[in-house]
Amino acid sequence: MSDAAVDTVVLYLDDEESLVFLVTRLLKRLGYEVCGFTSPVEALDAFKADPARYALVLTDLSMPGSSGLEFARDVLAIAPASKVAILSGHVDEADVMRATALGVRAVIQKPHTLAELGPVVQQLLR
**Angle between the N-to-C axes of helices 93-102 and 68-78, in degrees from 0 to 180, rounded to the nearest 10:** 10
pLDDT band per the 50, 70, 90 thresholds, residue 69: very high
pLDDT band at 111, cuts 50/70/90? low
Taking domain 3-120, whether its CATH number is 3.60.21.10 is answered by no
Q: For position 8, what pLDDT does the model report?
A: 78
Contact between 15 and 60 under an 8 Å Cβ cutoff? The reply is yes
Residue 2 pLDDT > 60? no
CA 114 to CA 30: how far, in whole Å?
Answer: 8
Averaged pLDDT for residues 58-81? 94
Query: What is the model's pLDDT at position 45?
Result: 98
How do the domains of the chain map onto residue ranges? 3-120
| pTM passes above 0.85 | yes
Residue 64 pLDDT: 86
Judge whether residue 4 has pLDDT over 60.
no
> Roughly what angle, to the nearest 10 degrees, separates helices 68-78 and 40-49?
10
Q: Which helix (H) or strand (E) holds 25?
A: helix 17-29
- What is d(CA 53, CA 10) in angstroms, rounded to the nearest whole number? 9
pLDDT at 6 over 60: no
| pLDDT value at residue 9 | 95
